[in-house]
């Protein structure tokens, strides 16, 4: 097997005086979708923010493409090839879809062929190109947030809880969007609490609790094992959507 594109080893991180991550070990293989699951407050968002250099790495190592990136400034981490869609998506509701995309393409005008590729991935963005982003459905807003993150070529896409607050019908649209990305062999780390959504997409899975990884394996194995799901995720999680 080739070297994982991203490896976290013994990662510790603090928010203010609180010690949040307690030695996170995580690998993201190339060309696959890896799911990071865990209950609310487990440390999933902090893990993503630490990868991006938005939360300071206190101890441990983050390696991307064979190089240590821990401690680098966030724009440099992005430039090395990591795209990040945070939980709140960071889109501008009052601006049009087009304006949102233009602002994201910070190295100049949008590359036309890349935009055509994005329209094929997410057709609603083409349909609503001149509409305010605030008028899109929740699923379409997620598509826009992902499209913004990948308007420049990136090797790894981090997406934090895209299904948060979405109705079940809209969640199915998002499954389609992620399946399109997977069909392109995109490398994705998807943070989720919604097991029924992420089980349809993930190849590998890691489960976090209390700032540590408590399980890693293949999603197909976890999806088949009800007892293990209950143990790792609790009943309420399995009952989602
Ligand atoms: N700004 C903050 N100040 C203090 N504690 C925080 C802050 N943000 C997150 N935390 C705590 O860090 C832990 C992990 O949070 P987070 O990474 O957001 O979890 P998750 O994304 O898995 O829900 C939680 O216990 C949360 O209460
Ligand atoms: Mg979170």
Calculate the average pLDDT of the chain: 92
**Ligand 1 atom, smallest distance to 48 CA:** 17
The mean pLDDT of 154-177, rounded to a whole number, is 90
Interval between CA 56 and ligand 1 midpoint (Å):
14
Q: What is the pLDDT of residues 2-14, one digit of tens each?
A: 899 999 999 999 9
Regarding the beta carbon of 46 and ligand 1, being less than 6 Å apart is answered: yes
- In this structure, which residue's CA is closest to atom 24 in ligand 1? 41
Q: What is the pLDDT of residues 34-44, one digit of tens each?
A: 999 999 999 99
Interval between CA 90 and ligand 1 midpoint (Å):
19
User: Which residue, 25, 16, 15, is CA-closest to 49?
Assistant: 15
- Contacts of residue 63, Cβ cutoff 8 Å, sequence gap at least 6: 6, 7, 8, 9, 69
Regarding the beta carbon of 66 and ligand 1, being less than 6 Å apart is answered: no
In this structure, of 63-67, 156-160, 179-183, 214-218, the range with the lowest mean pLDDT score is: 179-183
**Ligand 1 atom, smallest distance to 47 CA:** 17
DSSP state string for 92-134: -TTSBHHHHHHHH-TTSSPPHHHHHHHHHH-HHHHHTTTSBGG
Regarding the beta carbon of 88 and ligand 1, being less than 6 Å apart is answered: no
Q: What is the pLDDT of residues 28-77, one digit of tens each?
A: 999 999 999 999 999 999 999 999 999 999 999 999 999 999 999 999 99
What's the CATH superfamily of 1-81+157-162+187-241? P-loop containing nucleotide triphosphate hydrolases (3.40.50.300)
Q: What is the pLDDT of residue 166?
A: 86
Q: Which ligand is nearest to the CA of 237?
A: 1
Pairing of strands 187-192, 156-160: parallel
Q: What is the pLDDT of residues 174-205, one digit of tens each?
A: 898 899 889 988 999 999 999 999 999 999 99
The Cα 23–Cα 139 span in angstroms is: 34
How many residues appear in the chain? Answer: 241
Burial 179-214 (b: 16+ CB within 10 A, else e): eebbeeebbbbbbbbbbbbbbebbebbbbbbebbbe
CB contact at 8 A, 26 and 7: yes
- In this structure, which residue's CA is closest to atom 16 in ligand 1? 43
The CA-based diameter of the chain, rounded to the nearest angstrom, is 52
Q: What is the pLDDT of residues 112-138, one digit of tens each?
A: 999 999 999 899 999 999 999 999 998
Regarding the beta carbon of 40 and ligand 1, being less than 6 Å apart is answered: yes
Q: What is the pLDDT of residue 1?
A: 60
What element of type H or E holds 32? none
CB contact at 8 A, 38 and 81: no
The mean pLDDT of 163-176, rounded to a whole number, is 86
Q: What is the pLDDT of residue 116?
A: 94
The mean pLDDT of 76-101, rounded to a whole number, is 93
Interval between CA 8 and ligand 2 midpoint (Å):
18
Q: For 65, phi and psi rounded to 5 degrees? A: 55, 40
Query: Domain spans of the chain?
Result: 1-81+157-162+187-241
Q: What is the pLDDT of residue 184?
A: 86
Interval between CA 160 and ligand 1 midpoint (Å):
13
Q: In what order do the strands lie in the sheet with 6-15?
A: 18-28, 6-15, 57-64, 67-68
- In this structure, which residue's CA is closest to atom 6 in ligand 1? 15
């Amino acid at each position: 097997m080739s070297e994982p594109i991203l490896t976290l080893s013994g990662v510790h991180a603090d928010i203010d005086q609180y010690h949040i991550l307690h030695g996170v070990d995580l690998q993201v293989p190339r060309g696959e979708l890896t799911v990071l699951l865990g209950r609310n407050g487990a440390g999933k968002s902090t893990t993503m923010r630490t990868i991006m250099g938005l939360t300071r790495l206190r101890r441990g190592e983050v390696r991307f493409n064979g190089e240590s990136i821990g401690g680098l400034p966030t724009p440099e981490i992005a430039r090395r090839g990591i795209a990040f869609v945070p939980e709140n998506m960071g889109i501008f509701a009052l601006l049009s879809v087009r304006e949102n995309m233009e602002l994201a393409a910070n190295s100049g005008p949008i590359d036309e062929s890349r935009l055509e590729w994005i329209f094929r991935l997410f057709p609603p963005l083409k349909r609503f190109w001149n509409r305010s982003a605030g008028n899109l459905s929740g699923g379409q807003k997620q598509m826009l947030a992902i499209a913004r993150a990948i308007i420049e070529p990136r090797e790894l896409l981090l997406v934090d809880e895209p299904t948060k607050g979405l109705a079940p019908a809209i969640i199915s649209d998002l499954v389609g969007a992620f399946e399109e990305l997977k069909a392109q062999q995109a490398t994705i780390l998807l943070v989720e609490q919604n097991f029924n959504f992420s089980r349809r997409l993930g190849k590998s899975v890691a489960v976090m609790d209390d700032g540590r990884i408590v399980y890693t394996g293949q999603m197909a194995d976890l999806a088949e094992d009800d007892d293990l799901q209950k143990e790792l995720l609790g009943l309420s999680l399995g009952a989602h959507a």
